[in-house]
């Protein structure tokens, strides 16, 4: 059976790549067992993938008495993708191999509020999109802090960027001549976790991000849950107190209005901890230096976050919660309040759900964007939609 528009790219090969992409190297016998295929079919399919340079033979697996099986794994330089994290005042751009290795990273100035911001974005990315590399460039992944209808369509509503109904995907595809996938930044991170991170061994988990905003991605049965219109996961805009502080979304009392980076800095200024121009980075520095008021602000934020995550665990029953985002650099100050509130808000028997905190740097967002493209050969979630055939054609055009 062939996938439409992939020029003879059959679904069995996609299934083999998907398995190795999710689980790492495996023997032919394991591939056959996991996919319900005959040994002869697996031998034929993997031979073709080896000839195409997409798989490589690795060491032999340990045996319990039978003949050891040789492991097969993905060839990292069989393809690459450019990932872009769009922020209000700058871009983070990475070049990533099929196996998740970051080849290069750079930061570019950008003004999302400029009148022709999307045109300026295309111009900024044109040199990157046309760059030569040892591996074929499969496409461009864009991560934005907002709601995206579908990654393959890429229509964006992002209040923090001043974008409403922006046809970002269509514009970039036309300007750059590449497959382009656009997604909410936290959902893109979840795809990266499924492909390369802790999610490789999990079917149901949550990714919660803290920083300038508060985000959530839900992975259920191995797929990112997007909701009816792509708007799932707006944890930061759950209203805690209708009489609370004004949120950037226009409502009052959203969780983000209490614990987002700007909100924490505002509380620091009100408490006399920060000066008029100081931000949450300075608040974290004051907390690290032992300032009791700064630590109290983080402890309160941790309690609010812990209560929210505890409620999510009770409702969704995940195997794990992953905390990520630039705000984790100050996690030592969030954690005491977080752990106490988390335990208090979970239903009985759920307090054993592990909560893991990811090491963080700015490129992590952009790596998530690249994962949108790199997941396409593995058919994860069908996120690529109409762009899938174009990505696969680029992966296979020199390998037929």
The CATH superfamily assigned to 78-191+363-396 is ATPase, nucleotide binding domain (3.30.420.40)
Q: How many helices (H) and strands (E) does the chain have?
A: 13, 16
Same fold? 78-191+363-396, 197-357 = yes
Closest CA to 192 of 327, 383, 375, 385: 375
Q: What is the largest CA-CA distance in the chain?
A: 72
Angstrom distance (rounded) from CA 390 to CA 394: 6
| Residue 21, both tokens | 């992409």
* Residue 196 token pair: 């390369």
Q: Which of 71, 118, 117, 78 is nearest to 98 (CA)?
A: 78
pLDDT at res. 67: 61
Per-residue pLDDT, 65: 54
Q: Are 297 and 285 in contact (CB under 8 A)?
A: no
Which superfamily does CATH assign the domain made up of 197-357 to? ATPase, nucleotide binding domain (3.30.420.40)
**Residues with Cβ < 8 Å from 99, sequence gap 6 or more?**
74, 75, 76, 196
pLDDT tens, per residue, the chain with 400 residues: 333 333 344 667 777 877 887 778 899 999 999 888 899 999 999 998 898 888 889 877 655 555 667 899 888 788 899 999 999 999 999 999 888 889 999 999 999 999 999 999 999 999 999 888 778 899 999 999 999 999 999 999 998 899 999 999 999 999 999 999 999 999 999 999 988 888 888 999 999 999 999 999 999 998 899 998 889 999 999 999 999 999 988 899 999 999 999 999 999 999 999 999 999 999 999 999 999 999 999 999 999 999 999 999 999 999 999 999 999 999 999 999 999 999 887 766 666 899 999 988 888 999 999 999 988 877 656 778 888 888 888 887 655 5
Model pLDDT, residue 305: 97
CATH code at 11-74 = 1.10.10.10
CA end-to-end span of the chain, whole Å? 17
The reported pTM is 0.85
Domain locations in the chain as residue ranges: 11-74, 78-191+363-396, 197-357
At CA 297, angle to CA 292 and CA 300, rounded to 5?
120
Residues 6+ apart with CB under 8 A from 79: 97, 98, 135, 136, 137, 138, 374, 377, 394, 395
Tell me the C-alpha distance between 181 and 154, whole Å: 7
């Amino acid at each position: 059976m062939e996938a439409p528009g992939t020029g003879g790219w059959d679904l069995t090969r996609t299934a083999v790549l998907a398995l190795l992409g999710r689980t790492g190297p495996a023997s032919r016998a394991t591939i056959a067992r996991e996919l319900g295929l005959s040994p002869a079919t697996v031998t034929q399919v993997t031979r073709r993938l080896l000839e195409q340079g997409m798989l490589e033979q690795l060491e032999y697996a340990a045996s319990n008495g039978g003949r050891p099986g040789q492991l097969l794994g993905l060839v990292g330089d069989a393809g690459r993708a450019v990932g872009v994290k769009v922020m209000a005042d700058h871009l983070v751009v990475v070049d990533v191999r099929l196996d998740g290795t970051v080849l290069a990273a750079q930061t570019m100035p950008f003004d999302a509020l400029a009148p022709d911001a999307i045109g300026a974005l295309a111009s900024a990315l044109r040199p990157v999109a046309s760059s030569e590399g040892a591996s074929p460039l499969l496409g461009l992944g864009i991560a934005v802090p907002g709601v995206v209808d579908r990654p393959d369509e890429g229509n964006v509503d992002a209040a923090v960027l001043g974008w409403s109904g922006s046809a970002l995907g269509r514009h970039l595809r036309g300007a750059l001549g590449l497959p382009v996938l656009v997604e909410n930044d936290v959902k893109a991170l979840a795809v990266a976790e499924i492909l390369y991170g802790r999610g490789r061994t999990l079917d149901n988990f949550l990714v919660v991000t803290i920083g300038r905003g508060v985000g959530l991605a839900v992975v259920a049965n191995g797929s990112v849950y997007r909701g009816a219109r792509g708007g799932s996961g707006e944890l930061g805009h759950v209203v805690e107190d209708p009489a609370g502080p004004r949120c950037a979304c226009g409502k009052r009392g959203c969780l983000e209005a209490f614990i987002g980076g700007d909100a924490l800095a505002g509380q620091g200024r009100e408490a006399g901890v920060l000066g008029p121009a100081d931000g949450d980075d300075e608040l974290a520095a004051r907390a690290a230096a032992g300032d009791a008021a700064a630590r109290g602000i983080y402890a309160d934020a941790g309690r609010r976050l812990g209560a929210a995550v505890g409620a999510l665990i009770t409702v969704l029953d995940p195997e794990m919660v992953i905390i990520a985002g630039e705000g984790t650099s100050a996690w030592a100050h969030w954690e005491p309040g977080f752990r106490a509130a988390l335990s208090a808000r979970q239903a009985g028997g759920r307090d054993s759900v592990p909560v893991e905190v990811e090491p963080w740097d700015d490129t992590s967002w952009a790596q998530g964007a690249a994962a949108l493209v790199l997941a396409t050969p593995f058919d994860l979630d069908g996120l690529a939609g109409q762009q899938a055939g174009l990505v696969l054609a680029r992966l296979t055009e020199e390998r037929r």
